[in-house]
Amino acid sequence: MLKINNLHAGYDKIEILKGVNIDVKNNEIIALIGPNGAGKSTILKSIFNLCNIYSGEIIFKDKNITKLQTYELIHEGISYVPQGRQIFRELTVKENLEMGAFILDKNVMKRNIKDVYQKFPFLKEKRNEYAINLSGGQQQLLAIGRALMQNPQLLLLDEPSLGLSPKSMKEMFNKIKEINKEGVSIIIVEQNAKQSVEIADRTYILEDGKIALNGGKEILKNKKLKDIYFGGR
Amino acid sequence: MGIVIQLLINSLIAGAIYALVAAGFSLIYSTNKFVHFAHGSVIAFSAYMLYLFYSILKFNFGIAVILTILFSGVFGYLLNLIYKKLRERNASSVILLIASVGLLILIESLILILFGADVKTIGFLKIAKGLEIFGGIITPLQIWIIIISLLLLGFLYLFMKKTKIGKAMRAVADNKDVAEIVGISSEKIYSYSFIIGSLIAGIAGILVGLEQNLEPAMGTNLMIKGFTGAVIGGIGSVSGAILGSFLLGFTENYGIWFLPSGYKDAIAFTLLFIFLLFKPRGILGKKWGGDK
């Protein structure tokens, strides 16, 4: 579904990704883990054209999408949920969801909002409340709901568990699995390595802008993993 | 009793005008996140456009008004293009603020060159005998000023709450980065804010132009009042700007009950400084601050 070939990317002149290759198949959950500064978030940002791409290409459903504009990417079926509960705090829950479907047809928006309410019933209950009044976990789910308003085939999640209580975190991972079961492929970037590897079909481990390891759940037992995280070379 | 009512009427008229200036200014500030002082020049521009179309070119009054409002919107759009050029060069909000003061001076000077320094009157309305309400006097134009202002502010409120573009403006004001991620172009929203804010300023310019004499620096005076209203209410909040402007109108007008009327502007400035020193976020200012 998505293929990243030899991607070099970064911010202005600071190169973060130094030749990354990733392959996402239909209906997969892919986890990207690794120490701080390894370039996990930059991979998502480069797919969504939010950083500088120096070379390499990103292919989505056999189409080269490298450097497409945001609205074009949304139309292609890719949605992005940035790090840190990024919502419109002064808009109501309903308005937040509506803004998710800003570039889509009004009828599509109405249909999608029903779907999102079905997946997250609390959003329907609180639809007229200002988003700032939601709890941290609810705000993160609202951010995911907003992305689902775009009917994505591929969902990019940047550290959705950041700053959540263990209970909210568990709920979050359950919701991610549910969304995936309905046919949405997911790339999830996480600090929380163990839980993300467990829900993922495959995991890529990044180290200093390159893929150091990739594999299934057995990757947690790999001896090299410890070296990457704790630098014990 | 008569004086209380008269001051009430005067406060409402002043508040209505300040609120129009402050609402547009606040709208532009909320999305663009910089202080657009040249907003004042749109008011002077519009008053002089009405003078040009109606008093010099002798157009029908209705047509002159419509043309003036349209030109004000276009004028706002063009001002934004200048800021856009600066933004493309990574200008900070301080640079944009300095540019806006420069634009204000430039435009007022151009008006001075083109129309001269002498005071102009549009003279559409013959000096009307005021109506007496409970001992206070109000002219029909002044009643219109209050009604039109309240209607416009009501429309602006509905526009921001109910329409897709209005919601997108609030979204950009709230979190520009997320707005971009869902496909809202912040550049377009900046333009829309300038156009809408300037249309409102254009209407304010027409009302002021009919009520008072025209002079090239009229925009600066009104901008200072509008800015004060916006700061009192909570900068970046459109409803705060409206509230603050009426509060300023009341304070100014009831203040001169106790002080000589020459102190009217001093009252406004004192209020501005009090708020800047002790409550810089204003009455409806947000806890989290919109600046990023």
First-to-last C-alpha distance (Å) of chain B: 50
Which tokens hold the place of A104? 């889509």
For residue B288, is it within any domain? no
Spatial CB neighbours of B282, under 8 Å, sequence gap ≥ 6: B230, B231, B232, B233, B234, B235, B237, B240, B244, B275
Distance CA B234, CA B188 (A): 25
Distance CA A228, CA A205 (A): 9
Nearest to B209 by CA among B74, B57, B79, B65: B65
> What is the pLDDT of chain A when averaged over all its residues?
92
DSSP lists the bridge partners of residue A22 as A4
For residue B166, is it within any domain? yes
Nearest to B10 by CA among B2, B127, B232, B222: B2
For residue B292, is it within any domain? no
CB A119 within 8 A of CB A113: no
Residue A222: predicted pLDDT: 82
Interface test with B, best of A69, A81, A88, A103 (most B CBs within 10 A): A88
DSSP lists the bridge partners of residue A186 as A29, A155
pLDDT tens track of chain B, all 292 residues? 788 999 999 999 999 999 999 999 999 999 999 999 999 999 999 999 999 999 999 999 999 999 999 999 999 999 999 999 999 999 999 999 999 999 999 999 999 999 999 999 998 877 677 888 888 889 999 999 999 999 999 999 999 999 999 999 999 999 999 999 999 999 999 999 999 999 999 999 999 999 999 999 999 999 999 999 999 999 888 899 999 999 999 999 999 888 888 888 899 999 999 999 998 888 887 654 443 3
Neighbours of A72 (CB within 10 A): 14
8 Å CB contact of B180 and A95: no
Which tokens hold the place of B205? 């310019």
Helices (H), chain B: 2-32, 39-50, 61-88, 93-115, 140-162, 164-174, 176-181, 186-211, 218-233, 238-258, 264-278
CB A176 within 8 A of CB A188: yes
Residue B182 is nearest to which of A50, A89, A146, comparing CB atoms?
A146
Residue B182 is nearest to which of A50, A89, A99, comparing CB atoms?
A99
Asked if the model's pLDDT at residue A229 lies above 80, the reply is: no
DSSP state of A92: B
8 Å CB contact of B174 and A89: yes
Residue B285: predicted pLDDT: 75
For residue B196, is it within any domain? yes
Condensed to tens digits (0 to 9), the pLDDT of residues A15-24 reads 999 999 999 9
Query: How much is the average pLDDT of A13-41?
Result: 93
Residue A218: predicted pLDDT: 86
Which residue, chain included where needed, has tokens 């600046």?
B291
Confidence of residue A44 (pLDDT cuts 50, 70, 90): very high
Question: Can you give the CATH number for the domain in which B253 is found?
Answer: 1.10.3470
- Tell how many helices (H) and how many strands (E) occur in chain A: 9, 10
Neighbours of A206 (CB within 10 A): 26
Q: Which residue of A has its CA nearest to B179?
A: A99
For residue B286, is it within any domain? no
Distance CA A146, CA A125 (A): 16
CB A129 within 8 A of CB A92: yes
Confidence of residue A37 (pLDDT cuts 50, 70, 90): confident
Interface test with B, best of A83, A102, A113 (most B CBs within 10 A): A102
For B172, the domain range is 2-278
Residue A231: predicted pLDDT: 64
Distance CA A152, CA A24 (A): 15
8 Å CB contact of A88 and B175: yes
What 3-state DSSP class applies to A226?
A: helix
Residue A86 is nearest to which of B178, B286, B288, comparing CB atoms?
B178
Asked if the model's pLDDT at residue A47 lies above 80, the reply is: yes
Q: Which domains does chain A have, with CATH numbers?
A: 1-77+154-165+185-233 (3.40.50.300), 84-151 (no CATH)
Supply the angle between the helices B61-88 and B186-211 in degrees, to the nearest 10.
140
H helix or E strand, kind and range, residue A157: strand A154-158
DSSP state of A126: T
- Structural domain tally of chain B? 1
For residue B289, is it within any domain? no
Surface of A (127-186) touching B: CB under 8 A: 132, 146, 150
The count of CB pairs under 8 A between chains A and B is 58
Asked if the model's pLDDT at residue A129 lies above 60, the reply is: yes
8 Å CB contact of B178 and A82: yes
Query: How much is the average pLDDT of A9-37?
Result: 93
